[in-house]
């Protein structure tokens, strides 16, 4: 919200305080100043210029070449405005000026072959109005060369303040002034209300009925006759301009002005369009329609609070007036509404209808029910000053259950317990007084305080403690040099993920983090995704049911920049719907998943070896290293599938006993194609939970004290026999002296036969208790060979 | 016998000299050293010799066998190392046989750094779900229904009771309900905001939540702890300020700004985290006596911290996962 410095000075004298100090103090007290708009510097280098001459551009129908004086020099300026003419006083932006509308810097330029050293501006270009029909022409009295901010008396400063939702009280100039008074130890003064009503009693003339007093606890109204609706005077237009509001007419402008002054939203009705001169506050009927003053049609329901006359609705309460009763240039008599509505009722209706206005914004944050009459009178007084007319005697005010001010106790010990530093009692008391709170009781232990209704956010002791800390200043919190650490057991639920990441660093993988929101088509390819009710775009409608999509998108994007060799992994949550409707956490599944993928070449061409493509064996090896590194003391085993399985063409499952730990393989090419990935991708998926459940404390295993004996064997065997089958038979033919079998060579060639292959194994024998003799190992070894020969029709090589 | 041995040694020498393929080495191994190889044959022959001759030839045979074996292994080794060092002149300027290491995502490196700092201060580390209930994300944190405070966080809803969490704070409520104080924990994780994607904002980001509940936890301790954190992360000379703010679940509430001035640019205050004393309503709602216990909480954005530290100006680059970016850190 924009707050004008000049405007603030109406209520608090800030003449001895610098702009920087105001900014600092406001921010330090919780009213964060996001930007300072200094209109003088905003219009730097934009001055009143004099058009000495204006001629048509030789190469253009609509451009003119002008000579413009700033009082010192004459400049050549090309102008496209239809209304430019010799002898005008204009808004001249010189080289170096920044045009507020669009932030364009003016530079020397050549326009259709002619030099131009500046620009003549329209109101819209200067951000003064939306008028861009032609350049601004000032009247004769304008002083040539004067900065236009000074000429237009726009030499104000505005603070753009970000107001948190709890500070409804600060949504007005008086509200901000109240904080400044406490911060700078000054007093504020409110404008005096002082007008002479005519001898016509409002109560005999009009009436207000509240049918729903819980949503509308208070409704006040004042009536004026014979006002003249016209353009607002310059001072009012300027004030609204400095806080970014557009002037509409003098009546509407005053209602806005008072809202930004005290925070009470007002609405002016054309009294002659209020049937029966009656206001009835009640709920809409179901499916009733209503046209607001922006000419939009709304469908209502029975929860929407409406302002009605004797026959029809005339406004959506607290949100927006109706077209049927708005103030028009022909309006003579007006009723000014100044009401207090229930905050959640306004918010619900505003959300439901999708209308948010300055009024609804304030009502839903809770306004002050105490100021309705003051605000109505203040508006009437201002309207009378600028639009004439008569104010009827009295005020309509329905307030059946007056809201009481809260009384809250604050204990000094509690202040210390929360803040951890002590503040003198006198300072505490002073802070409350400056904020306009009343101290009812005071003793050594506590203060009893009455909170004005302007501060709906203060209801509890903790709220008062916050006020003390805020105004006393966070910069005054003493620095501490030691803290207390509790000695209860420490837990790190993320440690396994860190161990996995460390493993991948060692395996030369890059970690990725992808967008977890996918579009429908992609998400549905990979599971049973959950639909978002209100997505930001059609590209992000479903939380990912898998990490595969993000992985393949990442691979695709990298291939486009010629990063063809990739080893990537991601750890992240995936979401799948279980039951058709989500009413409980058991209706969906959220898993912390892990996926890694490899594609392209594992190593480039080097002088010491040739390049090598990633294949299923690379994947298998990485999966094995990873799982075994995380779960070192459990035996893992592989199961294989050669037909399509989930997203894989072929692949394997890693198991520990009967439990599946993860699954990997070559991703189906149609899935790769969907992501525009034209090379083979191998991937392995598991979950953090799967891995974590298997981990157990690692124990030392004594080192072997006796020698190992290694022996090699090679077979020529049918191509269809798998390496695993051979290993199984070798084991079958051996005792427990055989500890490891390793395939170390495989080849196929014409020489050994068309359907044959050669497999060579290294066998490792040892016993933990003693040294083995050559004889017993030889016996074992030959037994195993015989077993393979007979069971698998293998031929021992080298015989 | 002697002739036979000599002949075999001669043949072996010429064959091994000409071995240039792995196959040939295998053939030689089989021909001479296998169970039915030529050397085994010689040992067979030994049995037919007289008692006198046996030891003499036996010794010779053993010696020969060992020698041939050694020669074979030497040639094989030479072959296997692709004759590298022996066939090239030693050229130490050849490129190294480099092994690459992988990377953790830069956001997780930042997180690790943050975790380390808070672990050092005795914090536990907890996890929580991303698909949350309105109850934990808002209600248990003192966000009443139909309150404008809910507008502070644009939310992706699944339905009226479930949503993608907008902050890591729901885990605060989960911890308070499941654990007795003292609770001293940080909670890292992904959070979601229904905002358009731009250089400055993304539909998700990563947060680290902090929570400490015990007897006598104070606001001064909170600010002191966070100043320590800022100095650890940004350096001893970091310029910071605490600025009053509003969060429904803390009171008093504060934001922390640090002064940021990249070389050659004008400086400005940048918000890095929000914090405050846990609101008594939140303690009570989650079953903790607010007269006996007090607590503080804070939340910081990992993307923001990373962007500041490394001079990254577009948040989207974190989620593009371009390998050229990933490899940098």
Extents of the domains making up chain B:
2-87, 106-326
CA distances from A475 to A25, A218, A478, B243, B279 (A): 11, 41, 8, 9, 22
Chain B hits for A592, Cβ within 8 Å:
127
Task: Specify the higher pLDDT residue, B300 or A695.
Answer: B300
Give me the residues of B, 39-78, that contact A with CB < 8 A: none
pLDDT band at B81 (very low <50, low <70, confident <90, very high): low
Contact A390, A199 (CB under 8 A): no
Chain A hits for B197, Cβ within 8 Å:
536
Our CA-based measurement puts residue B252 at a distance from the nearest CA of chain A, in whole angstroms, of 5
The pLDDT score that the predictor gives to residue A134 is 87
What does the alpha-carbon distance between residue B23 and residue B76 come to, in Å, rounded to a whole number?
11
Give me the residues of A, 26-45, that contact B with CB < 8 A: 27-30, 32
Whether the predicted pLDDT of B199 surpasses 60: yes
Cis, peptide link before residue B252, omega less than 30° from 0 = yes
Whether the predicted pLDDT of B126 surpasses 90: yes
Contact B173, B137 (CB under 8 A): no
Rg (CA), chain B: 37
Q: Which of B94, B158, B246 sits opposite A530 (nearest CB)?
A: B158
Q: Which positions ≥6 away from A637 have C-beta within 8 Å?
A: A654, A655, A656
What does the alpha-carbon distance between residue A343 and residue A351 come to, in Å, rounded to a whole number?
12
A235 touching B (Cβ < 8 Å): no
What does the alpha-carbon distance between residue A180 and residue A28 come to, in Å, rounded to a whole number?
11
Cis, peptide link before residue B297, omega less than 30° from 0 = no
Share of chain B above pLDDT 90, in %: 61
Mutate to test the interface with A, among B220, B275, B281 (most CBs of A within 10 A): B220
- The interface pTM score, or ipTM, of the predicted complex is 0.85
The pLDDT score that the predictor gives to residue A425 is 95
State chain B's maximal CA–CA distance in angstroms.
112
How close are the terminal C-alpha atoms of chain A, in Å? 94
Our CA-based measurement puts residue A489 at a distance from the nearest CA of chain B, in whole angstroms, of 8
Chain B hits for A583, Cβ within 8 Å:
161
B179 touching A (Cβ < 8 Å): no
Contact A557 B119 (CB under 8 A): no
On the CB side of B279, how many CA atoms lie within 13 Å of its CA? 21
Q: Which of B29, B241, B327 sits opposite A510 (nearest CB)?
A: B327
Structure tokens at A358: 């300055």
Q: Which of B130, B159, B255 sits opposite A533 (nearest CB)?
A: B159
What does the alpha-carbon distance between residue A380 and residue A268 come to, in Å, rounded to a whole number?
10
CA distances from B271 to B200, B220, B268 (A): 13, 19, 10
Q: Where do we find the tokens 């358009």?
A: B196
Name the CA dihedral angle for B187, B193, B196, B199, rounded to a multiple of 10 degrees.
-20
Chain B hits for A531, Cβ within 8 Å:
158
Chain A hits for B30, Cβ within 8 Å:
797-799
DSSP classification of residue A189: -
Our CA-based measurement puts residue B250 at a distance from the nearest CA of chain A, in whole angstroms, of 10
**Strand ranges of the sheet holding A659-667, from the earlier edge strand across to the other edge:** A510-511, A566-577, A588-599, A681-687, A659-667, A648-656, A637-641
Mutate to test the interface with B, among A169, A435, A476, A477 (most CBs of B within 10 A): A477
Mutate to test the interface with B, among A505, A534, A603, A711 (most CBs of B within 10 A): A534
Q: Which of B127, B184, B243 sits opposite A474 (nearest CB)?
A: B243
Mutate to test the interface with A, among B120, B326, B328 (most CBs of A within 10 A): B326
Contact A505 B100 (CB under 8 A): no
Give me the residues of A, 409-428, that contact B with CB < 8 A: 417-421
Task: DSSP for B158-181, please give it.
Answer: SSSSEEE-SSSTHHHHHHHHHSPS
Contact B243 A27 (CB under 8 A): yes
Of all residues in chain A, the one with the smallest CA distance to B85 is: A608
The pLDDT score that the predictor gives to residue A554 is 97
Task: Specify the higher pLDDT residue, A704 or B147.
Answer: A704
pLDDT band at B82 (very low <50, low <70, confident <90, very high): low
Whether the predicted pLDDT of B45 surpasses 70: yes
Our CA-based measurement puts residue A421 at a distance from the nearest CA of chain B, in whole angstroms, of 7
What are the pLDDT digits (tens) for A420-476?
999 999 999 999 998 889 999 999 999 999 999 999 999 999 999 999 999 999 999
Contact A347 B146 (CB under 8 A): yes
Could you tell me the mean pLDDT of each successive run of 10 residues in chain A, 799 residues long? Answer: 94 94 93 89 88 87 89 90 90 90 85 88 82 86 88 85 92 95 91 93 94 96 96 92 90 97 97 95 95 94 96 96 94 96 94 94 95 97 96 96 95 96 94 93 96 93 96 92 87 95 96 97 94 93 97 97 96 96 96 97 84 94 95 92 91 95 96 96 96 88 91 92 94 93 89 89 94 92 93 83
Structure tokens at A527: 């599971």
Our CA-based measurement puts residue A552 at a distance from the nearest CA of chain B, in whole angstroms, of 11
CA distances from A587 to A524, B159, B177 (A): 18, 13, 22
What does the alpha-carbon distance between residue A787 and residue A731 come to, in Å, rounded to a whole number?
10
Residue A687 parent element (H or E): strand A681-687
Contact A505 B103 (CB under 8 A): yes
CA B221 to chain centre: 32
Average pLDDT along chain B: 90
The pLDDT score that the predictor gives to residue A798 is 66
Contact A435, A471 (CB under 8 A): yes
Mutate to test the interface with B, among A36, A474, A558, A692 (most CBs of B within 10 A): A474
Contact A380, A268 (CB under 8 A): no
Contact B219 A419 (CB under 8 A): yes
Chain B hits for A714, Cβ within 8 Å:
26
Contact A797 B35 (CB under 8 A): no
Contact B166, B134 (CB under 8 A): no
Task: List the one residue out of A790, A763, A789, A796 whose CA is nearest residue A778.
Answer: A763
Whole-model pTM: value is: 0.83
Q: Which positions ≥6 away from A560 have C-beta within 8 Å?
A: none
Q: Which of A29, A543, A563 sits opposite B164 (nearest CB)?
A: A543
**Domain B106-326, CATH:** 3.30.930.10
Share of chain B above pLDDT 70, in %: 98
Give me the residues of B, 212-251, that contact A with CB < 8 A: 214, 216, 218-221, 223-225, 227, 241-246, 251
Contact B245, A34 (CB under 8 A): no
Task: DSSP for A597-654, please give it.
Answer: EEESEEE---SSS--EE--HHHHHHHHHHHHHHHSTTS--EEEEE-S-BTTEEEEEEE
Give me the residues of B, 255-284, that contact A with CB < 8 A: 255, 277, 279-280
Chain B hits for A510, Cβ within 8 Å:
102-103, 321, 323, 326-327
Contact B158 A28 (CB under 8 A): no
Residue A305 backbone phi and psi in degrees, to 5: -80, 130
């Amino acid at each position: 919200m924009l707050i004008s410095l000049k405007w603030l000075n109406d209520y608090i004298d800030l003449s001895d305080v610098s702009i920087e100090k105001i900014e600092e103090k406001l921010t330090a007290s919780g009213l964060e100043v996001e930007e300072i708009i200094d209109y003088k510097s905003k219009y730097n280098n934009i001055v009143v210029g004099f058009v000495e001459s204006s001629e048509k551009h030789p190469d253009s129908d609509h451009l003119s070449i002008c000579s413009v004086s700033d009082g010192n020099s004459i400049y050549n300026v090309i102008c496209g405005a239809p209304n430019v003419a010799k002898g005008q006083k204009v808004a001249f932006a010189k080289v170096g000026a920044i045009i507020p509308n669009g932030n364009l810097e003016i530079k020397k330029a050549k326009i259709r072959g002619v030099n131009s050293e500046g620009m003549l501006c329209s109101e819209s270009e200067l951000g003064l109005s939306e008028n861009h029909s032609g350049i601004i022409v000032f009247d004769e009295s304008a002083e040539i060369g004067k900065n236009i901010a000074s000429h237009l008396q726009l030499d104000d400063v505005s603070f753009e303040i970000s107001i948190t939702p709890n500070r409804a009280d600060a949504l007005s100039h008086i509200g901000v002034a109240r904080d400044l008074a406490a911060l700078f130890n000054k007093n504020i003064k409110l404008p005096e209300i002082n007008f002479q009503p005519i001898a016509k009693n409002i109560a005999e003339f009009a009436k207000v009925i509240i049918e729903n007093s819980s949503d509308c606890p208070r409704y006040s109204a004042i009536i004026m006759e014979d006002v003249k609706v016209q353009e607002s005077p310059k001072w009012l237009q300027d004030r609204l301009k400095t806080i970014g509001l557009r002037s509409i007419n003098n009546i509407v402008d005053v209602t806005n002005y008072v809202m930004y002054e005290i925070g009470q939203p007002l609405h002016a009705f054309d009294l002659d369009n209020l049937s029966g001169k009656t206001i009835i506050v009640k709920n809409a009927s179901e499916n009733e329609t209503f046209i607001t003053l922006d000419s939009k049609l709304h469908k209502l329901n029975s929860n929407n609070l409406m302002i009605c006359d004797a026959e029809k609705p005339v406004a959506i309460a607290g949100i927006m007036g109706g077209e049927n009763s708005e103030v028009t240039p022909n309006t003579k008599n007006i009723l000014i509404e100044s009401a207090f509505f229930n905050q959640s009722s306004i918010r619900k209706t505003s959300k439901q209808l999708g209308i948010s206005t300055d009024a609804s914004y304030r009502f839903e944050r809770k306004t002050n029910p105490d100021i309705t009459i003051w605000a109505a009178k203040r508006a009437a007084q201002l309207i009378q000053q600028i639009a004439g007319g008569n104010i009827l005697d009295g005020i309509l005010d329905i307030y059946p259950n007056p809201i009481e001010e809260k009384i809250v106790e604050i204990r000094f010990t509690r202040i210390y317990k929360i803040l951890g530093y002590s503040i003198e009692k006198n300072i505490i008391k002073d802070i409350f007084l400056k904020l306009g709170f009343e101290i009812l009781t005071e003793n050594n232990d506590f203060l009893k305080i009455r909170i004005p209704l302007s501060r709906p956010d203060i209801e509890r002791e903790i709220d008062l403690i916050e006020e003390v800390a805020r105004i006393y200043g966070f910069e005054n919190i003493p620095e501490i040099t030691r803290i207390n650490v509790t000695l209860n057991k420490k837990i790190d639920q993320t440690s396994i993920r860190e161990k996995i990441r460390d493993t991948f660093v060692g395996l030369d993988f890059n970690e990725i983090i992808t967008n977890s929101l996918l579009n429908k088509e992609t998400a549905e390819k990979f599971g049973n995704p959950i639909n978002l009710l209100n997505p930001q775009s059609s590209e992000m409608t479903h939380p990912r049911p898998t990490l595969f999509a993000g992985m393949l998108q990442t691979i695709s994007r990298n291939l486009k920049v010629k990063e063809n060799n990739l080893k990537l992994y991601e750890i992240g949550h995936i979401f799948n719907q279980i039951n058709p409707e989500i009413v409980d956490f058991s209706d969906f599944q959220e898993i912390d998943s892990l996926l890694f993928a490899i594609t392209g070449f594992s190593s480039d061409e080097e002088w010491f070896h040739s390049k090598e493509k990633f294949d299923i064996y690379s994947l298998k090896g990485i999966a094995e290293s990873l799982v075994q590194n995380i779960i070192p003391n459990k035996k893992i085993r592989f199961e294989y599938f050669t037909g399509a399985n989930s997203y894989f063409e072929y692949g394997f499952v890693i198991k520990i006993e009967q439990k599946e730990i993860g699954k990997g393989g070559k991703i189906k090419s149609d899935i790769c194609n969907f992501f525009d990935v034209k090379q083979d991708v191998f991937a392995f998926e598991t979950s953090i939970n799967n891995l974590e459940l298997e981990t157990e404390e690692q124990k030392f295993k004594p080192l072997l004290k006796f020698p190992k004996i290694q022996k090699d064997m090679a077979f020529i065997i049918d191509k269809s026999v798998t390496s695993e089958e051979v290993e199984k038979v070798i084991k079958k033919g051996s005792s427990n002296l055989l500890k490891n079998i390793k395939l170390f060579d495989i080849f196929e060639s014409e020489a050994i036969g068309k359907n044959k292959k050669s497999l060579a194994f290294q066998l490792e024998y040892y016993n933990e208790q003693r040294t083995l003799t050559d004889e017993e190992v030889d016996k074992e070894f030959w037994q195993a060979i015989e077993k393979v020969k007979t069971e698998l029709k293998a031929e021992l090589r080298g015989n | 016998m002697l002739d036979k041995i000599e002949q075999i040694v001669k043949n072996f020498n010429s064959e091994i000299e000409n071995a240039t393929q792995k196959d040939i080495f295998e053939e030689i191994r089989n021909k001479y050293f296998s169970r039915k190889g030529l050397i085994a044959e010689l040992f067979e022959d030994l049995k037919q010799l007289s008692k006198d001759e046996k030891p003499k030839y036996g010794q010779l045979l053993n010696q020969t066998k060992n020698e041939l074996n050694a020669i074979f292994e030497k040639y094989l080794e030479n072959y296997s190392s692709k004759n590298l060092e022996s066939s090239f002149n030693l050229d130490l300027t050849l490129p190294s046989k480099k092994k690459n290491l992988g990377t953790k995502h830069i956001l997780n490196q930042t997180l690790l750094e943050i975790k380390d700092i808070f672990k050092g201060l005795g914090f536990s580390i907890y996890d929580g779900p991303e698909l949350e209930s309105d109850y934990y994300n808002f209600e248990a944190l003192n966000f009443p229904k139909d309150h404008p405070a809910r507008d502070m966080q644009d939310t992706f809803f699944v339905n009226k009771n479930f949503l993608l969490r907008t902050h890591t704070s729901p885990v605060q409520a989960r911890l308070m309900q499941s654990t007795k104080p003292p609770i001293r924990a940080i909670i890292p994780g992904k959070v979601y905001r229904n905002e358009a994607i731009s250089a400055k904002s993304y539909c998700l980001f990563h947060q680290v939540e902090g929570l400490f509940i015990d007897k006598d936890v104070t606001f001064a301790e909170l600010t002191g702890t966070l100043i320590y954190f800022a100095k650890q992360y940004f350096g001893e000379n970091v310029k910071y300020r605490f600025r009053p703010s509003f969060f429904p679940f803390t009171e008093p509430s504060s934001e922390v700004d640090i002064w940021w001035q990249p070389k050659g640019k004008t400086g400005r205050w940048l918000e890095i985290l929000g914090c405050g004393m846990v609101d008594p309503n939140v303690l009570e709602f989650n079953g903790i006596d607010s007269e006996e216990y007090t607590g503080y909480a804070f939340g910081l954005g990992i993307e923001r911290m990373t962007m500041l530290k490394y001079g990254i100006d577009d948040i989207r680059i974190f989620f593009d996962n371009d390998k050229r970016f990933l490899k940098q850190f």
